[in-house]
Each structure stands twice: as structure tokens, then as C-alpha cells.
Amino acid sequence: MLYLSKTDRLKLLAFAAVVLLMPIWLTPLGAAYPGLMQKFAIYAIFAIGFNILFGLTGYLSFGHAAFLGVGSYTAVWSFKLLTMDILPAMIFAVIVSGIFALVIGFFSLRRTGIYFSILTLAFAQMCYSLAYSVLTPITNGETGLLLTRNDPRIIDTALGAAHVGAEGLPSPTFLGIAMSGYSGFYLCAVLLILAFFIAQKIFASPFGLALRGIKSNQTRMIYTGFNTKPYTLAAFVISGMFAGLAGGLLAVTDPIAGAERMRWTESGNIVLMTILGGVGTLIGPVIGAWVIEYFENIFSAINKNILNQTFDFLPDGLQNVIVTVASKFVGEGWHLTLGLLFVFIVVFLPGGLVEGWQKLMARFRGKGREKK
């Protein structure tokens, strides 16, 4: 069950090293703080899950944020009602979002192509609207679901356990360790590696092969007597559960759940991440998730002051010109930069950043051979 081919094992090891060493290699990039590294790991899990559906079956779901949101709400409710321990929260997050995925997938998968995308989008918007206004007693609307000091927390009360941070708000714990800051990051990192491993197994399995068959020609699969429905549905549910896990982790590292997480822009974001990195590849979506999160969090925080400091070495006139031009692309203009990058990738590297890397490597290798 744990068998991996030799290259896959190497890939897993390298991947684990990269993920666990984030605090070191992200430092020069200005991103080595727990808040962002947690997001890196969490959105990578989300992207890996999404890629199992989109990358393998070719079904483009435009409503995956719904499962992320469901996972978050479930986890926060578990914190409120049961216990501050994260285990039940995450298990429930995965299960409940799996059930949601089963229902939504059952209906959406009756159609393919653009109709499928629209259906999932419609379902996700429905979930969003429900969370945003109809179900406000459960979701607390736009404000987001927050913990309070006098939540019941049945299990904690029954066990008489004093939670961490007893005087203030309780924080989520894993066997007594508070899950904010670096411990939270390592939890997400370990789960990300686990998610990567599962994705590897799925990619290499007959199940994964069937999914790829569906992507290349579903009609032919059906004509050869192969019932594709259970396969696509399974892929949909699995990727929904990954999204639920990611949503649960968002709530674990920062115990709040807001309706914005279910918005169509979030669903679009995950599609962007996957395409940016490389659809159907193992590592692509992860890289895409990291790039987009990096832009969203680091580029949006650059202001004129920082630019002025950066370009301080230039002569005054030139510095002003460069700062004025550059400031349009950072801070509030980070969407612009991301948009340009996305256009560039789609036009020149339809296979995403991974394809760019492969092309680069091929060129180097090609040159090496010529020399020989």
C-alpha cells in the first residue's frame, strides 16, 4: 500500500525537504512567517486535491471553494461545540465536505464540459449565498464565524480540560500543543506531504489510469464497456475532501470561518493556481498555489516607501521614474501583475510553470549533448 516507484520516492523525499525547509528558503523572499507558510501548505493541499479532479479527469470544477468553506465552518463548529482539539475538527471537516461533494458531484457530473463547470459554479454560488445571508445563524454571515469564550465545548467541559490560553480565547490544540505559529505550519506541512503522497499513489494507480482515460476520450471508454460514472464521482469526492481538509486547516491555524472563502473568486483562484503551475502534473498545482499566495500576500504589501528604499541606489530622477512605474504593479496593483503573469503563462507556456521548467531543462540538456 505504501509502495512507490523509485522516482516517485525520490520526488516525495525532495518534496518533503522543500516543504519542511520553507522557513529557511523563504527567508530571502520575505515570506518566512508562519501565517503565510501555513497558507502555502494549505493552498497546496487544496490545489493537489483540485488537480486530482481537473488534472486527471479533465472535469473543470468552478465551485471548489464551496468545499473549502464547508470544511472551515465544520471545523469551527467542532471547536465551538465539541473540543478545541483539532483531530475531530479535521475529521469532521473532511467527512462533511466529502458528503457535500457527493451530493454536488452526483448532480453536476451528469453533464460534461462547460455545463459541468457552470453547474458546479451554480452550486458553489448557492452555498455562498446560503452562508452569506440565509444561514446566518450557522455561519454568522459576512462577519464570519468566531470562537467565543462561552461556547459549550462539550468534550472539553466533560474532561475538565483547561484549554491553552485559559484567560483569553482558547486556541486550537493538537494533543495539548497550540496550533498557531510554527507548530501550526509543521502540522500543515506534514499533511501537505501526506496529501502529495496520496496524489502520487492515485496518479500511479489503475484508478488514476482510468481517470486519465476519461480525460483523453470518455466516449471511447464508455464504448469499451467501462462505466465512467463511479470513477468521476470518486475523483470529485476525493478532491472535495482535500478541499475540506484545506478548509479545516485554515480554521485550525486561524479559528474563523467567513463566507468569502466560498466565493466564486476563490473557486477561480484555485483554477488559476492549477493552470499557472501546470495541469495534470503532480508538483505544478503546488507551485501555482505558492506563486499566487506569494503575490497576494507579499506583492500587495509593497508600498512606495519600500520601493523607494529598494531603488535608493539609483540617481534621483531615475529612481522616481522606476518607483512610479513599479508602484502600479505592487500594492493595490498586485492583481495587475498577477494578470500579466497569467496571460504570459497561458500564451507561451500552456503547460504552466512546470512546462517552462521542462523546456529550460531540455535546452540545457540539449546544449550539453551538443558539446559532447
Partner 1 sequence: MTRLLMNRRGLLRTMGAGAAATMASPMFFTRGAWANEFCNSPEKSGKIIFGFNVPQTGSYAEEGLEQLKAYELAIKHINEGGGMLDTLKPLSLKGNGVLGKKVEFVSGDTQTNTDAARDGARRMIERDGAIMVTGSVTSGEAIAVQSLCQEKGVIYMAGLTHSNDTTGKDKRRYGFRHFFNAYQSGVAIAPHLASAYGKDRRAYHLTADYTWGWTQEESIKAATEALGWETVATVRTPLGLGDYSQYLTPVLNSGADVLILNHYGHDMVNSLPQAVQFGLRDRQANGKDFQIVVPMFSELMAVGAGEAVKGIIGTSNWHWALEDAGTQAFTKAYGEAYGVPPSQAAHTGYVQAILYADAVERAGSFYPPEVIKALEGHEFDGVGIGPTLYRDSDHQCFKDVLVVQGNDNPSSKFDVLNVIGKATRDEVTYDPSIFGGELGPYEPNQC
Q: Which positions from 271 through 310 interact with partner 1, judged by CB under 8 A?
A: 296-297, 300-301, 303, 305
DSSP label of 330: S
**What distance in Å separates the CA atoms of residue 259 and residue 66, rounded to the nearest whole number?**
9
Residue among 19 and 53 whose Cβ is closer to partner 1: 19
- Identify whether the C-beta of residue 322 lies closer than 8 Å to the C-beta of residue 314: yes
Q: Is 180 in the site for partner 1 (CB under 8 A)?
A: yes
Residue among 266 and 355 whose Cβ is closer to partner 1: 266
Single out the residue of 20, 135, 221, 326 in contact with partner 1 (rule: CB under 8 A): 20
Single out the residue of 126, 135, 144, 264 in contact with partner 1 (rule: CB under 8 A): 144
For residue 134, what are the contacts with CB-CB under 8 A and spacing of at least 6? none
Q: Is 361 in the site for partner 1 (CB under 8 A)?
A: no
C-alpha dist (Å) from residue 365 to 175, 265, 297, 372: 50, 40, 36, 11
Question: Judged by CB under 8 A, which stretch of 76-84, 140-148, 153-161, 281-289 contacts partner 1?
Answer: 140-148
Residue among 27 and 320 whose Cβ is closer to partner 1: 27
Q: Is 36 in the site for partner 1 (CB under 8 A)?
A: yes
Can you spell out the DSSP letters for 68-118?
HHHHHHHHHHHHHHT-SBHHHHHHHHHHHHHHHHHHHHHHHTTS-HHHHHH
Number of residues that bind partner 1 (CB under 8 A): 54
Least Å distance, CB 24 to partner 1, is 6
Residue among 71 and 352 whose Cβ is closer to partner 1: 71
Burial class (CB in 10 A: 0-12, 13-18, 19+), 141: middle
Number of H helices, E strands in the chain: 17, 4
**Burial code of 11-43, b = ≥16 C-beta within 10 A, e = fewer?**
bbeebbeebeebbeebeeeebeebebbbbbbbb
Least Å distance, CB 358 to partner 1, is 26
Least Å distance, CB 127 to partner 1, is 14
**What distance in Å separates the CA atoms of residue 226 and residue 307, rounded to the nearest whole number?**
59
Q: Is 141 in the site for partner 1 (CB under 8 A)?
A: yes
Question: Judged by CB under 8 A, which stretch of 21-29, 207-215, 216-224, 355-363 contacts partner 1?
Answer: 21-29
Residue among 9 and 111 whose Cβ is closer to partner 1: 9
Q: Is 146 in the site for partner 1 (CB under 8 A)?
A: yes
What x-and-dash track marks residues 37-76 binding partner 1 by CB under 8 A?
--x-------------------------------------
For residue 335, what is its C-alpha cell?
Answer: 492583481
* β partners of residue 256: 146
Q: Which amino acid is present at 339?
A: G
- Identify whether the C-beta of residue 302 lies closer than 8 Å to the C-beta of residue 295: no
Least Å distance, CB 191 to partner 1, is 13
Q: Which contacts qualify for 2-7: CB closer than 8 Å, 24 or more apart?
A: 4/197, 4/200, 4/201, 4/204, 5/204
- Identify whether the C-beta of residue 248 lies closer than 8 Å to the C-beta of residue 90: yes
Q: Which positions from 224 through 263 interact with partner 1, judged by CB under 8 A?
A: 254, 256, 258, 260-261
Q: Which positions from 325 through 344 interact with partner 1, judged by CB under 8 A?
A: 331-332, 334-335
In this structure, the number of other CB atoms found within 10 A of the CB of residue 349 comes to: 17
Residue among 3 and 313 whose Cβ is closer to partner 1: 3
Single out the residue of 107, 113, 133, 363 in contact with partner 1 (rule: CB under 8 A): 133
For residue 265, what are the contacts with CB-CB under 8 A and spacing of at least 6? none
Q: Is 142 in the site for partner 1 (CB under 8 A)?
A: yes
Least Å distance, CB 270 to partner 1, is 14
Residues that bind partner 1 (CB under 8 A): 1-4, 9, 13, 16-17, 20-21, 23-24, 30-36, 39, 129, 132-133, 136, 141-144, 146, 149, 165, 167-169, 171, 180-182, 186, 254, 256, 258, 260-261, 296-297, 300-301, 303, 305, 331-332, 334-335
